[in-house]
Amino acid sequence: MLAIGYCAAVRGIGAYVVRVEVVGIPTTDIGIHIVGLADRSIQESKERVNAAIRSSGFLFPTYKVVVNLAPADVRKEGAAFDVALALTILAMDQQLDAHRLRDVVAIGELALDGSVKPVGGVLPIAISLKQSSHRRLIVPARNLAEAALVDGLTLFPVHTLTQAVDVVLGRGQPGVSSNGKPEHFDARSQHFDEDLEDVKGQERARRAMEVAAAGGHNLLFIGPPGSGKTMLARRMPSIMPAMSCDEALEVTTLYSVSGLLRHSSRLLTERPFRAPHHTVSAIALAGGGSVPRPGEVSLAHHGVLFLDEMAEFSRGALEVLRQPLEDGAVTISRAGRAITYPANFMLLASLNPCPCGYHGDRLRGCSCSPIAIARYLSKISGPLLDRIDMHVDVPRMPYEDMSTRAKAEQSFRVRSRVEAARTLQRVRLGPTGTNAAMPAKSLREHCALDDRARPLLAAAVMKLHLSARAHDRILRVARTIADLAGARTIETAHLAEAIGYRSLDRSRGID
Ligand SMILES: Nc1ncnc2c1ncn2[C@@H]1O[C@H](COP(=O)(O)OP(=O)(O)OP(=O)(O)O)[C@@H](O)[C@H]1O
Ligand SMILES: [Mg+2]
Ligand SMILES: [Zn+2]
């Protein structure tokens, strides 16, 4: 007695089909035995499958049921196998016609009463099926909309194991969902609750945000408490260019494999904005765990990772940012396996200038010793600071600005300038190119300086003790400023503005 069924498993942000082989062995040792590299969560599914089969009105076989999951060399995690396991056991016991299982893949977690619960990773599973020979998928009803983001599959939404059996017997109805289909994708019509028009004054910081959004640059705000750093940062997504359909699918896939889509199942069209608390662990930030999950850096993919009060984060947490900031991806090693998750985000951070917060403030004195200030800033100095293209002072707002009734410029106006600058970058660097991610070898070609600008940069490198990386980052920011101005070449004014966004180098240079 042998029956074969199919389910699917997630690995990284991809997925693959898993073959479920079930044999019955007549012995008194009744129950399910899973062989192969099965994770503890699959061991737990034995109990659920057993109970669900009985409470759905079927019989549990009165002999030993041996289950093999293939390929055996890949570790499989999660509860998504329950439904396929139950169906294949029923087929092996001839309560179901075994050959009917051949052309259908089933995913879903079973509850003890036989109902089917939603699972994570449905989007990558649907994408992977499209590339395989399997075209029919039994999905938990609540995951239908997510699976329907991929066209070309026949989807059977089920609420219960009994309904899944009906599908296999040819009595199920394919489900349709038009929820958020990519064809109807239009991220441009987006509405943001938090708009830059609410922020008074702070012209310099607003301009820096525009430059950062236009070129994809990392940005650090430095200023005293209450100057509006957090308020500004939260409005960054409202001025970033709309996501393309491919970007939206990638972001949605990451949320799907993180189990964060279970209750919405929509295509995510807003750029992510992640603001982890400063107590976040290195693993939660980078990703990992016994069942690997994307971390905050990946949940911020194509969007913003905001580190509010950056100096409060642990050194270990800040350290893990270096690889994704350089590569746009993180690799997690776990039990000899390496999984790579995309992590191409804009780093946005805020910082008080010193422990008390008032160093350099016009009205309030700072009570910190120079040693305390140096220790405070040392945490984010060096390699990490080098990777932040722009540091900008956000001073206390003058009373005139605070009391003005005039509304500031709205985000959508800023965004239209940002979009125009991005278009120039795409023409120059290809469909996904940004100045921040421009390959070093293209710098010479696209960021050439004229005879007046070159000495200015040379002087800044000398005076601010800039590293080669910081030098290149200034050139990239200058390129973006020129793009916002619609200029073909980088002019002295563009370069001077870019150098001005290195305030931390400046304060260190004076020490
Ligand atoms: N430029 C501004 N325009 C309008 N309101 C502002 C501005 N700056 C600050 N505020 C008001 O002050 C509040 C505090 O600002 P915010 O939390 O952004 O300060 P912060 O710089 O992040 O301070 P901290 O360093 O203490 O975190 C805001 O919620 C807002 O009500
Ligand atoms: Mg704040
Ligand atoms: Zn101080």
Which tens digits make up the pLDDT trace of 410-442? 999 999 999 999 999 999 998 888 999 898 888
Q: What is the model's pLDDT at position 261? A: 77
Q: Is the pLDDT of residue 123 over 70?
A: yes
Q: Whose CA is nearest to atom 16 of ligand 1?
A: 228
Tell me 343's DSSP state.
-
Q: At what angle do helices 82-92 and 40-55 cross, to 10 degrees?
A: 60
Q: Given the structure tokens 């260190």, which residue do they identify?
A: 508
Tell me what pLDDT residue 187 has: 53
78 with 120: CB under 8 angstroms? Answer: yes
Task: Give the per-residue pLDDT at 184.
Answer: 46
Choose between 344 and 384: higher pLDDT. Answer: 344
Distance CA 320, CA 411 (A): 32
Per-residue pLDDT at 510: 36
Please give the Cα distance from 426 to 416 (Å, whole number). Answer: 15
In which residue are the tokens 């080669």 written? 468
Q: Answer whether 225 contacts ligand 1 (Cβ < 6 A).
A: yes
Q: Which ligand is nearest to the CA of 225?
A: 1
For residues 279 and 307, the answer to whether their CB atoms sit within 8 Å is no
Q: Which helix (H) or strand (E) holds 109?
A: strand 109-110
- The angle subtended at Cα 254 by Cα 253 and Cα 260, nearest 5°, is 95
Nearest CA among 296, 388, 302 for reference residue 345: 302
Burial classification of residue 108, based on how many CB atoms lie within 10 Å of its CB (0-12 exposed, 13-18 middle, 19 or more buried): buried
* Whether residue 263 has pLDDT greater than 90: no
**Rounded average pLDDT over 76-100:** 87
| CATH architecture for the domain at 2-168 | 2-Layer Sandwich (3.30)
Mean pLDDT is lowest, of 119-123, 185-189, 439-443, for: 185-189
Q: Which of 38-42, 107-111, 236-240 has the lowest mean pLDDT?
A: 38-42
* pLDDT reported for residue 174: 85
Cα first-last separation, the chain: 80
344 CA → ligand 2 middle, Å: 24
d(CA 233, CA 219): 10
Cα(114)–Cα(87) distance, rounded to whole angstroms? 12
Our answer on whether the CB atom of 342 is closer than 6 Å to any ligand 1 atom is no
- Tell me: pLDDT of 293 over 70: yes
Is 24 near ligand 1, meaning CB less than 6 Å away? no
Judged by DSSP in three states, 90 sits in: helix
Q: Which atom of ligand 1 is nearest to the CA of 232?
A: 18
Of the ranges 114-128, 257-271, 331-345, 363-377, which one carries the lowest mean pLDDT score?
A: 257-271
- Per residue in 3-43, pLDDT (tens digit) is 999 999 888 888 889 999 999 998 888 888 888 655 676 77
Higher per-residue pLDDT: 418 or 469: 418
- Domain ranges for the chain, please list them: 2-168, 187-430, 438-511
What's the pTM? 0.82
Tell how far the Cα of 308 is from the centroid of ligand 3, in angstroms.
Answer: 18
What average pLDDT does the segment 87-108 reach? 91
pLDDT at 192 over 60: yes
Quick one: fold of 187-430?
Rossmann fold (3.40.50)
Atom of ligand 1 nearest to the CA of 352: 25
| Predicted pLDDT at 98 | 81
Q: How many helices (H) and strands (E) would you count in the chain?
A: 21, 18
Q: Identify the DSSP state of 118.
A: -
Of the listed ligands, the closest to the CA of 352 is 1
pLDDT of 160 strictly over 90: yes
353 pocket-lining for ligand 1 (C-beta < 6 Å):
no
Please work out, in degrees rounded to the nearest 5, the angle formed at the alpha carbon of residue 393 by the alpha carbons of 354 and 223: 40
Q: What pairing do the DSSP bridges indicate for beta strands 390-393 and 219-222? A: parallel
* Any atom of ligand 1 within 6 Å of the Cβ of 398: no
Mean residue pLDDT of the chain comes to: 87
Contact assessment for residue 293 and residue 287, using Cβ atoms and an 8 Å cutoff: yes
Residue 352 beta carbon below 6 angstroms from any ligand 1 atom: yes
Q: Which helix (H) or strand (E) holds 496?
A: helix 492-500
Residue nearest to atom 26 of ligand 1 (CA): 225
Which residue owns the Cα nearest ligand 1 atom 14?
Answer: 226
pLDDT at 511 over 70: no
What confidence tier does 298 reach under pLDDT thresholds 50, 70, 90?
very high
Lowest mean pLDDT, pick from 363-372, 392-401, 413-422: 392-401
Most confident range (mean pLDDT) of 85-94, 251-260, 261-270 is: 85-94
Residue 364 CA, ligand 3 centroid: distance in Å: 10
Q: Give residue for tokens 């294949």.
A: 88
Among 194, 196, 206, 231, the mutation site with the greatest number of ligand 1 atoms within 8 A of its Cβ is 231
Q: Find the 175 Cα to ligand 1 centroid distance in Å.
A: 49
330 with 298: CB under 8 angstroms? yes
Residue with CA nearest ligand 1 atom 12: 226
Partners of 156 in beta bridges: 138
Among residues 292, 324, 290, 291, the alpha carbon closest in space to that of 307 is found at: 324
**pLDDT reported for residue 180:** 47
Give the pLDDT mean for 187-208. 83
Q: Is 310 in the pocket of ligand 1 (CB under 6 A)?
A: no
Instruction: Give the 3-state secondary structure of residue 407.
Output: coil
Give the model's confidence band at 65: pLDDT under 50 very low, under 70 low, under 90 confident, else very high: very high
184 CA to centre of ligand 3 in angstroms: 52
Q: Is the CB of 230 under 6 A from ligand 1?
A: yes
Ligand positioned closest to the Cα atom of 370? 3
The backbone torsions φ and ψ at residue 390, rounded to the nearest 5 degrees and listed phi first, read -135, 130
Task: Give the whole-number percent of the chain exceeding pLDDT 70.
Answer: 91
Q: For residue 501, give the nearest of 465, 467, 470 by alpha carbon.
A: 470
Q: Check pocket membership of 235 for ligand 1, CB cut-off 6 A.
A: no
User: Is the beta carbon of 370 within 6 A of some atom in ligand 1?
Assistant: no
pLDDT range class, residue 233, cuts 50, 70, 90: very high
Query: Residue 509: its pLDDT value, please?
Result: 42
- Does any ligand 1 atom lie closer than 6 A to the CB of residue 202? yes
Three-state secondary-structure class, residue 509:
helix
Q: What are phi and psi of 14, to 5 degrees?
A: -110, 180
Q: Phi first, then psi: what are they for 353, rounded to 5°? A: -70, -15
| Among the bound ligands, the one closest to the CA of 354 | 3
Q: Identify whether the C-beta of residue 238 lies closer than 8 Å to the C-beta of residue 187.
A: no
The model's pLDDT over 303-353, given as tens digits with 9 standing for 90+, comes to 999 999 998 998 889 989 999 998 899 998 876 778 899 999 999 999 998
